Amino acid sequence: MLSFRTEIENPLVQKDIIDLEQKIHLHKNGKIDEDGFRSLRLARGIYGQRQEGVQMIRIKLPFGKLNSEQLHRIADVSDEYSTGRLHITTRQDIQIHYVSLDRTPELWAELEKSDITLREACGNAVRNITASETAGIDPEEPFDVSAYADAVFKFFLRNPICQELGRKFKISFSSSDQDSALSFIHDLGFIAKLKITDGIEKKGFKVMIAGGLGAQPRQADVLFDFLETDKIIPFIESSLRVFDRYGERNRRAKARLKHLIQNIGLDQFIRYVQEEKRALSAQSIKIDIPVSSQKNEEIREFPKAQIKDELAYTNWKKSNVYTQKQQGYFAIGIKVRLGDFYTDKARILADLIRDYAQDELRLTISQGILIRGVQEALLPFFYQKLNELGFADIGYGSTLDITSCPGTDTCNLGIASSTGLARELENTLRNEFPAYAYNKDISIKLSGCMNACGQHSIAQIGFYGMSIKKGALVIPAFQVLLGGGTLGNGKGRFADKVIKIPSKKGPEALRLIIHDYEDNKTDTMSFTDYYLEKEKVHFYNLLKPLADLSEVDKDIFIDWGHSESYIKAIGVGECAGVVIDLVSTLLFETEEKLENAKLSLEAKKWSDSIYHSYASIINTAKAVLIGENIKTNTQAGIVKDFDQYFIKSGLINLESSFSELIYQIKSNKADEAFSKQYFNDAQKFYKLVDNLRTNALNNES
């Protein structure tokens, strides 16, 4: 018996981890096949790697917040179960790679000792809630959004309404109109706002909906100019219920919220959201604002620091140090190359923030680290210590601070080496364009494929991996994109696809683009304005010689970081895991959902129980439809088709229509009486269908 069975105090967490251990055992013994097991492990942050037999573990860190104890814990886990490398993602998570599946329950249990979870870090669920890394210290913010991001994270973690969505669901909180958390590319994005009504100042959010990147990026719509803070969780809950019911499930490329909004229209979506109000667990949820974690007592005895290079120290302060809204305090940005750092340095950093700062850091959506709460007199000391760690490179948040997903290093979907090209681009900038260490106008972002994990679509200069054929051979290549960026207050611009070039031509493309910009722009012209003035065809002609494959040397067939010719190899992606569609598996899952409904009843969690019952009824109906080879693209479609094929035809007899049975969830309050009645209805329906199926199987035999 593993130690975590007695060491984990939270019974929900303990059940989760034990369930994972048991399902791994069943999978290894052939009781659950790979497709059936995939959805369960993804919902627990376990993602298959490109390399066979090992897993990537994604640690879910709401709005990227970490204290020293948690960073120590993650470092210990990485050393014990992995290779000691930590990777920061564009959703403010940490990933560790090369983990044995058998050891994931123990790994998870170790993390939970410091209140760190893997739950719903991957899969078809609400992913990590992101927020501006400067939230709480930003001089321009109306208020600190951290507590709201944290409350949303906690409310929807393990919430039954978002455990088996059609696709992933992403939410962000921006601290100001600068929109540094990129609301315009999220399923739901919130921007902090203040509003004065009858002389009373109220806090709220501008709400953006149905944005997204990927192969078909979409600018989010404005849903509310101002939504009061106590309404945001009920609104998110309603939206998730609608997405769960009407969202596409079979066609993965069409299963995001942006496609649902495009299909039914924003007005219809709002009507559906209104219909869900009665069923909500609460119409208003006040979010308590905690006392600031800023240390009250200033450090009065400062450790000595010797600055050997005053110019380097001055440049570091200019590039990487920011004034906080708290007088006398500063934030320090750390540029983490490609988001990768190691446990030995992580531990020293953890001790630094515990002893000499706010005991808090934030991981950033640009794969960096922001230390908060540093007194001015301690800046020389921090520079010295960070320099010793290799964490004092200038260029935090600048053009040199290149964002890249892991690409072909570990991801099944990677086509070309985004990390390899990113290293070369940074070297080019550092050696040939050093002034760009202070340029905050141009961002460079790379993805290993079109799915945009590296957010290439919103960069001023973006690249995504692909391949180009030359005769019978294949060349690793990148699509060059230009002119993207964040415009603020919920608006952004997606970069245009300009030209495809071999990967080895990437540095030369960057040189041409920057030289052209430097030589022809006016003094105050931003890169995006310059691009819009010159237009796409100008840059296509500028870069066209790089796409010429009439004469090439053999080096062009070898990707960055490799020694052999390129072979295109794309596996099955797991960005939004697939739930197996076998009838027996679905009915088995129905039994689990009914058990969850019963446990929620016993815990007096009426809303949770109701949704578990709803999910069990849907699951049962889906199983029957699939058994008859009837498509089940959406939950709403399941309800309609079940009525048509089974109720109206008389194959199954209910006291009402199926839609009347299941849609009781929309017309009843989430109270004790209805939750018990609905649970009984769900049980009866499952028994009816199971008996019919058993009889049919007996007749066949």
> Which carries the bigger pLDDT value, residue 554 or residue 184?
184
User: pLDDT, tens digit, for every residue of 277-291?
Assistant: 889 989 999 998 874
User: pLDDT, tens digit, for every residue of 370-413?
Assistant: 999 999 999 999 999 999 999 999 999 999 999 999 887 778 77
- Contact criterion met (CB below 8 Å) for 257 and 210: yes
Mean local confidence (pLDDT), 136-141:
96
Rounded Cα distance between 388 and 436, Å, is: 24
The DSSP-derived string for 16-27 is: HHHHHHHHHHHH
Band of pLDDT at residue 235, cut at 50, 70 and 90: very high
Band of pLDDT at residue 579, cut at 50, 70 and 90: very low
Mean local confidence (pLDDT), 618-641:
90
Does the structure show a pLDDT above 70 at 647? yes
Residues whose CB falls within 8 Å of the CB of residue 31, separated by 6 or more in sequence, listed in order: none
pLDDT, position 461: 98
pLDDT, position 414: 77
pLDDT, position 214: 87
Domain ranges of the chain: 4-112, 130-279, 310-389, 403-557, 583-700
pLDDT, position 207: 98
Band of pLDDT at residue 567, cut at 50, 70 and 90: low
Indicate the DSSP class of residue 673: H
Band of pLDDT at residue 581, cut at 50, 70 and 90: very low
| Residue range 583-700, CATH number | 1.20.120
User: pLDDT, tens digit, for every residue of 288-338?
Assistant: 887 454 554 566 677 888 899 999 999 999 999 999 999 999 999 999 999
Indicate the DSSP class of residue 151: H
Across the chain, mean pLDDT equals 90
Task: Give the strands of the sheet with 130-131, arranged side by side.
Answer: 130-131, 171-174, 188-197, 200-209, 221-228
Band of pLDDT at residue 624, cut at 50, 70 and 90: confident
> Tokens for 365?
């959506």
* Alpha-carbon torsion (275, 184, 166, 602), positive or negative: negative
User: pLDDT, tens digit, for every residue of 103-121?
Assistant: 999 999 999 999 999 999 9
Does the structure show a pLDDT above 50 at 2? no
Rounded Cα distance between 575 and 69, Å, is: 30
Q: Do domains 403-557 and 583-700 have the same CATH topology?
A: no
pLDDT, position 10: 81
Rounded Cα distance between 54 and 48, Å, is: 7
Provide the 3-class DSSP secondary structure of residue 690.
Answer: helix
Please tell me the least confidently modeled range out of 25-29, 260-264, 568-572: 568-572
- Contact criterion met (CB below 8 Å) for 133 and 365: yes
Nearest alpha carbon to residue 165 among 659, 579, 453: 579
- Contact criterion met (CB below 8 Å) for 68 and 348: no
Scan for tokens 């008859």, then name that residue. 628
User: pLDDT, tens digit, for every residue of 651-684?
Assistant: 888 889 999 999 999 989 999 999 999 999 999 9
φ and ψ of 57, to 5 deg:
-105, 125
pLDDT, position 37: 82
Please tell me the least confidently modeled range out of 35-49, 82-96, 466-480, 564-578: 564-578
110-135 CB burial, b ≥16 within 10 A, e <16: bbbbbebbbbbbbbbbbbbbbbbbbb
| Residue range 130-279, CATH number | 3.30.413.10
Mean local confidence (pLDDT), 60-74:
97
Band of pLDDT at residue 8, cut at 50, 70 and 90: low
pLDDT, position 572: 46
Does the structure show a pLDDT above 80 at 347? yes
CA distances from 620 to 255, 259, 448, 592, 610 (A): 21, 26, 39, 12, 15
pTM of the model: 0.91
Report percent pLDDT > 90 for the chain: 71
Mean local confidence (pLDDT), 37-55:
84
User: pLDDT, tens digit, for every residue of 412-424?
Assistant: 777 889 999 999 9
Provide the 3-class DSSP secondary structure of residue 62.
Answer: helix
Does the structure show a pLDDT above 60 at 489? yes
Question: What CATH class is the domain 403-557?
Answer: alpha beta
pLDDT, position 407: 81
Q: In sequence order, what are the beta bridge partners of 56?
A: 47
- Contact criterion met (CB below 8 Å) for 340 and 391: no
Band of pLDDT at residue 7, cut at 50, 70 and 90: low
Does the structure show a pLDDT above 80 at 9? no
Scan for tokens 């948690």, then name that residue. 70
Band of pLDDT at residue 695, cut at 50, 70 and 90: confident
pLDDT, position 480: 97
User: pLDDT, tens digit, for every residue of 194-231?
Assistant: 999 888 999 999 999 999 998 889 999 999 999 999 99
| Residue range 310-389, CATH number | 3.30.70.3340
Q: Which fold has domain 4-112?
A: Sulfite Reductase Hemoprotein; domain 2 (3.90.480)
Please tell me the least confidently modeled range out of 12-26, 160-174, 333-347, 487-501: 12-26
Band of pLDDT at residue 631, cut at 50, 70 and 90: confident
pLDDT, position 408: 79
